[in-house]
Structures are given as C-alpha cells and as structure tokens.
Homo-oligomer: A and B are copies of this chain.
C-alpha cells in the first residue's frame, strides 16, 4: 500500500506496478479522475470524510458569520449600531450533499434550533436531519432555505448547481455557504444576484476561479466573506489522514473493505 499526500502528476512516475493499494490524502478527487491515473489495476482510496469534522466546523463559522454580519463588523473602523445580525435559531438550512461533512454539520446545528434538510443523490435517511430529500427535490427546496450549504463533491451532476436559475428560486435573504468546490457555483450568476439584491449574502471557502483574482467584485461586497480554501486547517490534516491510513491498513490486513474506495464511474 502506498500513501500519497501530493497530486497525481508527481505520483505517476513513482507508482510501481506491484502497488495494489493507494491511499491519497485529498478528499475532492476531480483532478485525479481527470489525470487518468486512476484505473482498475489497483484499489484507490481517497480522503473523503477524513476531514469532515474540521470542514463542518468551518461551515458553522461561515454560517454564523453570515447571519451575524461579522464580515461587515470586521471591516468597520468605528461603532455602527446598525450592524445588527439575525439569529441562526429557527433557520432552515439546506445541505446539498449530506456525506461526511453534511452529517457532522447536522450534529453541530442541532443545539442552535435550526432545521436541517439533507439532500443526497440517493435520498437516504440522513442521521439527525430534520428531513432527508433527493437531489430531484431541490427544485422545490431552494425556495424553503434561509441558508444553503454546498458540501457535495464536484461531479458533472453538481457542476454549477448554483446558477442563475437556482439562485432565482432561492429566498431573497438566503445565505449561500460553499465549503465544497468552486465549480458548484456559477460565480457570474452569484455576482449578478448580489447586484440585484436577489440573495442575502455568501460565505465561500472555495471559488471559481480559484484563487479569485484581485479586483473581483466579490472581494469588496459587504455581504460576502471569502476564506482561502482553509476549511480544513493544516493543523489537523496529517493527524486525520494518519488515522484513516491506520484504519484502512487494519481493514486490508483483516480482509475487510477499506473506507472511501474511489469509484471512477460515479465521480467520487
């Protein structure tokens, strides 16, 4: 078994034909699939759900910052009593992609008295969610959310799932939170929706393009907070990957199926 915490380009020349198992550190693997290195000659395992807790924690930080208008407070250089936020309590939080991150997020949301609607491709019952739904139901669900959290892998199905049409279906005060990949959002459509006050705000840990260029209107919109793809802080990454490697080696040695085997056909 080989453990690799870099990208596909640097691994290719090093990959011996007799390596049967490869554990990569990344959770999102769209660039691995695009590189063509992932084939059926061995078993590939990715970092899905390894980093769920820190990423869900970052989503909570962005949700609360958005509701409480903390970006505007941070930019203020004097006392402005009009910078009054709104509570998270009582909000409907639509979680698009309720895998590891979404499941952890639902647990963190519970004590705040928020309603969580968990959307998965399979519409399976997500633990502790107020309601579970399929991606097909999104057409109806966009309009029910106070907060939309994107936590789905970047696939062809999720590509620009937030676009002009779906933004138009959302409530005017909606807060959009992206802790997944920039490709899930049509950035120009988001800028346009903000310009016309058709959304309340956005808190984005991932953008398209990434990095977002200096001078882009999202940098200075008072309703927008951008973090530089830091939902999963370095401080925890190695420790969490090591834990997964240990578990997967034990599974393989014990004849069990390791976690997060990549299935190229579904895209994650």
| A84 sits at the interface (CB 8 A) | yes
Taking a contact as CB atoms under 8 Å apart, the answer to whether B226 and A87 are in contact is no
Taking a contact as CB atoms under 8 Å apart, the answer to whether B83 and A74 are in contact is no
Complex CA–CA separation, A190 to B75 (angstroms): 20
* 8 A Cβ contacts from A91-107 to B: 107
Q: Mark A53-80, 1 if CB is under 8 A from B, else 0.
A: 1100110111011011011111111111
Q: Mark A195-207, 1 if CB is under 8 A from B, else 0.
A: 0000000000000
Complex CA–CA separation, A225 to B233 (angstroms): 21
Taking a contact as CB atoms under 8 Å apart, the answer to whether B58 and A61 are in contact is no
A78 → chain B closest CB, angstroms: 4
Complex CA–CA separation, A226 to B67 (angstroms): 15
Q: Tell me which residues across on chain B come within 8 A of A213, comparing CB atoms.
A: 78-79
| A6 sits at the interface (CB 8 A) | no
Complex CA–CA separation, A111 to B211 (angstroms): 32
| A220 sits at the interface (CB 8 A) | yes
Of chain B, the residue at the smallest CB distance from A107 is B111
Q: Mark A127-161, 1 if CB is under 8 A from B, else 0.
A: 00000000000000000000000000000000000
Taking a contact as CB atoms under 8 Å apart, the answer to whether A77 and B236 are in contact is no
Taking a contact as CB atoms under 8 Å apart, the answer to whether A78 and B225 are in contact is no
Complex CA–CA separation, A54 to B57 (angstroms): 19
Taking a contact as CB atoms under 8 Å apart, the answer to whether A57 and B235 are in contact is no
Taking a contact as CB atoms under 8 Å apart, the answer to whether B233 and A85 are in contact is yes
With contacts A75-B74, A83-B228 taken as known, whether A61 is within 8 angstroms of B67 at the C-beta atoms is: yes
| Cβ-defined partner of A57 (8 Å) among B71, B72, B88, B214 | B88
Q: Tell me which residues across on chain B come within 8 A of A64, comparing CB atoms.
A: 57, 60-61, 64-65
A-B contacts besides A57-B88, A64-B65, A78-B214, 5 pairs, CB < 8 Å: A61-B85, A73-B225, A76-B228, A77-B219, A79-B210
A-B pairs, top 6 by smallest CB distance, nearest first, are A79-B211, A61-B64, A74-B74, A71-B74, A78-B214, A61-B68
8 A-B pairs in the complex with CB atoms less than 8 angstroms apart: A57-B87, A70-B71, A71-B74, A72-B74, A76-B219, A78-B213, A79-B214, A79-B228
The chain A residues found within 8 Å of chain B, CB to CB, are: 53-54, 57-58, 60-62, 64-65, 67-68, 70-81, 83-89, 107-108, 110-113, 210-214, 219-220, 225-230, 233-236
